[in-house]
Structure 1
Amino acid sequence: MKKNSRYRVLLGLVICLSYSSFSQQVVETNEAIELALEYNYGIQIANNNQEIAENNKSVLNSGYLPTVTGNAGATYNLDNTEAQFSNGESTTLNGAESSRYNASINLNYTLFDGLGRYYDYKRLKEEYNLSELQARENIENTITQLLTVYYDVARRSENLKSLKETLYISKDRLVRSEYQFEYGQNTKLDVLNAEVDINNDSINIINARQSLINSKRDLNFVTGNKISQQFEVDTTVTFLLKLNKQELLGQLKENNVTLVQNEKNIAINEFTLKANKSGYLPTIGLIGTYGWNENNNNAASFVAVITNTGLSAGLNLSWNIFDGGGTITRVKNAQINLENQKLQKEQLVLDIERNFNNAWDDYQNKVKIYQVQEENIKTAKNNFLRTQEKFKLGQVTSIEFRQAQLNLLTAELSRNQAKYDAKLAEVFVLQISGQLLNVEL
């Protein structure tokens, strides 16, 4: 019918856009996580920082190894010399040549520095352990970000499916209204209302599809852009309903990455304090040199050539009895920093326990809301099917039919939102309790 040409063009656009969803790769959650772990730039940077910390804790950076240096030199002289000897004789030399050569190998080794390097070495090891925890925190945050975007894609995918079903129902209603108008069973107003509803449904689909495309781009960004351009996600959600609150709360104090990092910072500050106290004690060092020297003297000298080779060794002691109060200040500040870390730990425990309890209650509530929404879907479907039958029999108006249709769509969209909200709430519970990397999502 020509009168519906605009509607058919718009509907054709929606159908053409729909073809792009066929035969697309389905990306599972575990696949997306693996891609993120391998290609996410934030995780790669965290891994590089961990390598730096590993290099720093090496014995090569510990101060326990000696230092060995090599020196060499050469000097050439061209002099005009007038020499007066003790026996009264004298001589004058013009352009007298002389040269000196030397080479040596020097060793320096600190035997004792007040245990400063011992505690510095332990501090570097703890800093490496801290870098591992920072990398783990980065991984947990990235996985949480990934799952947030992944479930957003899943939700929008299901919403698009519901909108397409709504459009299909609206198309059927328009066809029915057109036939009824042709046979004089209704008015032109019913046909126009059906066309308006189809246009609105088509626009909703176009907007929903663009939002889905944007969300997929966000997911691809988190995975380092390693997913093919055309893909779908798994919309199946399984809840870990056997989670035990008390068990998770007990694991929280041992596994929460923020708390464990704080404990490492306490250890680092303890070693820093002890290293600073080493400034009160003397430093004892060993030095050794093996050298070679050759002097080629001019004719005015009694000895023409002097060559020396030899080994020398010794001990040195240095004791900074008073350094103007620098060591005292550093020790006091280190003690204050250590106390701050301990206070921060107490605050963190209270804060994280509160966050866990809030997250747990939020999870329980959202699971219940999802279950209620599932029941609401059944009621909305039943109401729609009854209204649809009455509409076919002419017992309800098109406005009442449309309202039942929209009620069903709203129920489906609310159910989709509740489902993924509940799953994300579960993810947050696992993250706070330190179990996110230990369960199968």
Structure 2
Amino acid sequence: MLFPSPIASFRSLLPTVALLLPLAAAAQQPGTPRTPNPGAQLDKPQTVAPAPALSLEEAVRIGLENNYGIRIAQRDEQIASNNVTRGNAGQLPTVNGNLTRTFTLNNVRQESSSRPEPSVASGARSNLFNTNVALTWTVFDGLGMFIAYDRLRALEAQQKQVTRNTVEQTVASITDAYYTVVRESGRIRAFEEALKVGQARIDLTQAQVDVGVAAKVELLTAQVDFNADRALLIQQQEALATAKVNLNNLLARAPETDLAPSDSIVVRQDLRKDEVVAGILQRNPQLQQARLGVDVAGYDRRLVTASRFPQVGVQGGYGLNRNVNGAAFFGNTLVTNTGRTLGFNYGVVASVPIFDGFNRRRLEQNARIAIEQSQLQLQQTELDLTSQAQQAFLQYQNRLQTLALEEDNIRLARQNVAITLERYRLGLLTPLVLREAQRNQLDAENRLLDARFLAKQAEVVLRQLSGTLVQQAPVEAK
């Protein structure tokens, strides 16, 4: 068998080398596009107009001050706090001032066996004036007034947990909306880098067409792909604008308010499952609210029991009564009688429940059922929260692993595009291979953004469940 000599092999490659030399020379001339450098994935997009910077901390502060859900919950907390008074529990006396003034106009006919003719008067006028100050004070009701006060305090504490839960949910929503803006902004950055690669492809293809080593159809294809990427960029800009509107809505700001997120997505990787579960049992507002619900149900039952005891109260007052009676006869003569009473009154009032149609027994039975129901709700809430923690922690671990893989993958995708673009510049690859590498990098960029976002979401859920998402008390209501 005869093998071709090295010189013969080289001669067979001469036509190909001759075609590539002009292209390689053109690629080295000044002004030839360089390989795009993607840089940091979350750099500021170049196609988005500058806007005031907004950090996550500032967004949370604005949300705590302005969010309508938080402000409504704070009003409910103020109402519950105002209800915690000794007077509302029935421990203080009540004092009322009363005033009565009446006028009468009567036609009077009076007959007597000692007088043959009746006495008649028309338009006889009388008036009554009565004023008094009355005091009523329950001094014993089976300790029901003290139980009622403790119940009011439990309701106040329960409402505080409702407010805290509202605050944490709002902060979680603001955090999610903020990082959504960051993710959509990062996607615009990815599309911008894809357009740089597309523009480099157009320039290189144009150079190939100019030297006659490529057909014009390849240039037209490159331009079509470039315009398709530009259309995707326009759609992504719309998605970014929508994300900003959603964030402004949570911050109770005008929807057209522009912003530029100054924080990137940084995922904590040190959360532990046992710490999350311990935080749920100690700080979770939903669980604390359910526990207080058991206390409230217990107070309700004790109030029903207290109603079986006698109730003892004291009452007193000071009053003035004046009666001017202009419809009285003295013999046959109509006269006016005036009476006046002024002085104190006081006494003790006792009430002993004897029979009320078995209503108290019915109320006690319902109260016991309500306690059992609240305990079941507490157990259900604890089970639900621990189940959510288990699922969230599994998601957290899986998403951290996915994030690590995507961070490695993005470096490979960027390196692949750089190599592919260089080989395309030398005419060693077809446009389809370059386009495929470009799409792979864009997909990798978007997957990395999604991986960061989803991992951060899992972290926020775990911190919210453990009650560590909001470290400070909410601001005062405006």
Task: Normalising by structure 2, report the TM-score.
Answer: 0.83
Shift of 1:83: 6.3
Letter aligned with residue 251 of structure 2: T
The DSSP-based 3-state class of the residue aligned with 2:467 is coil
Aligned residue in 2 for 1:47:
74
- Counterpart Cα distance in 1 of 2:125 and 2:376: 75
Distance 1:100 1:438, change over 3 A: closer
- Quote how far apart the aligned CAs of 1:350 are: 2.5
SS in 1 for 2:329: coil
Partner Cα separation in structure 2 for residue 341 and residue 397 of structure 1: 70
SS in 1 for 2:387: helix
Q: 1:143 aligns with which of 168, 171, 180?
A: 171
Q: Out of 428, 439, 452, which is 1:419 matched to?
A: 452
Partner of 1:434: 467
**Is 1:300 equivalent to 2:329 in the alignment?**
yes
The 3 A distance-change label for structure 1 pair 81 and 174 is: same
- 1:107 paired with 2:107, answer no
Report whether the alignment pairs 1:218 with 2:218.
no
Q: Helix, strand or coil: the match of 1:193?
A: helix
State whether structure 2 residue 188 is matched by structure 1 residue 155: no
Rounded to whole Å, the distance in 2 between the matches of 1:290 and 1:58 is 28
Asked whether 1:273 is paired with 2:306, we answer no
Indicate the residue corresponding to 2:59 in structure 1. Answer: 32
Deviation, structure 1 residue 387: 0.9
Q: Secondary structure at the match of 1:61?
A: coil
Mapping of residues 248-263 of structure 1, within 5 Å = 248-263=276-291
Q: Which amino acid aligns with 1:398?
A: P
- Letter of the 1:56 partner, please give it: N
Q: Which moved more, 1:48-57 or 1:195-204?
A: 48-57
Counterpart residue number, 1:400: 433
Residue of structure 1 equivalent to 2:92: 65
| Aligned pairs for 1:154-193 within 5 A | 154-193=182-221
In the TM superposition, what is the alpha-carbon distance from 1:281 to its structure 2 partner?
Answer: 1.2
Give the equivalent residue in structure 2 for 1:245: 273
Whichever residue aligns with residue 250 of structure 2, its letter is: V
Give the structure with the larger helix fraction. 1
1:378 aligns with 2:411: yes
In structure 2, the CA distance between the partners of 1:303 and 1:186, relative to structure 1 (3 Å rule), is: closer
Q: Structure 1 residue 344: deviation in Å?
A: 2.3
Q: Which runs of 5+ in 1 are unaligned?
A: 1-17
Per the alignment, do residues 323 and 82 of structure 1 end up closer, same or farther by CA in structure 2, a change over 3 Å counting? closer
- Contact conserved, 1:91 with 1:300, CA < 8 A, in 2? no
Q: Which amino acid aligns with 1:343?
A: L
Match status 1:21 vs 2:54: no
SS of match in other structure, 2:257: coil
Residue of structure 2 equivalent to 1:387: 420
Which of 74, 80, 83 does residue 56 from structure 1 map onto?
83
Q: Partner letter of residue 63 of structure 2?
A: A
Verify: 1:348 aligned to 2:345, yes or no: no
Once the two structures are overlaid, the 10-residue window that deviates more, 76-85 or 207-216, is: 76-85
Residues 171, 470 of structure 2: 8 Å contact kept: no
How far off its partner does 1:386 sit?
Answer: 1.1
Q: CA deviation at 1:426?
A: 0.5
Question: Offset of 1:20 from its aligned partner?
Answer: 7.0
Match of 2:30 in 1: none
Structure 2 partner of 1:126: 154
Give the deviation of 1:65 after TM superposition.
2.2
How far off its partner does 1:101 sit?
A: 2.2
1:79 to 1:101, Cα distance in 2 relative to 1, 3 A:
farther
Q: Which amino acid aligns with 2:420?
A: T
- Mapped contact 1:181–1:188 kept (Cα < 8 A): yes
How far the C-alpha of 1:89 sits from its partner, in A, is: 10
The amino acid of 1:306's aligned partner reads G
Tell me which structure has the larger Cα radius of gyration.
2
**What SS does the aligned partner of 2:213 have?**
coil
CA deviations over 1:135-188 (Å, ceiling 9, x no partner) = 111111111111111111111100011101111221121122123212211011
Aligned to 1:314: 347
User: Would the aligned equivalents of 2:244 and 2:258 in 1 still touch at CA under 8 Å?
Assistant: no
Q: CA RMSD in A?
A: 2.2
Question: Which of 392, 396, 400 is the matching residue for 1:363?
Answer: 396
Equivalent residue pairs, number: 421
1-structure distance, mates of 2:177, 2:84: 37
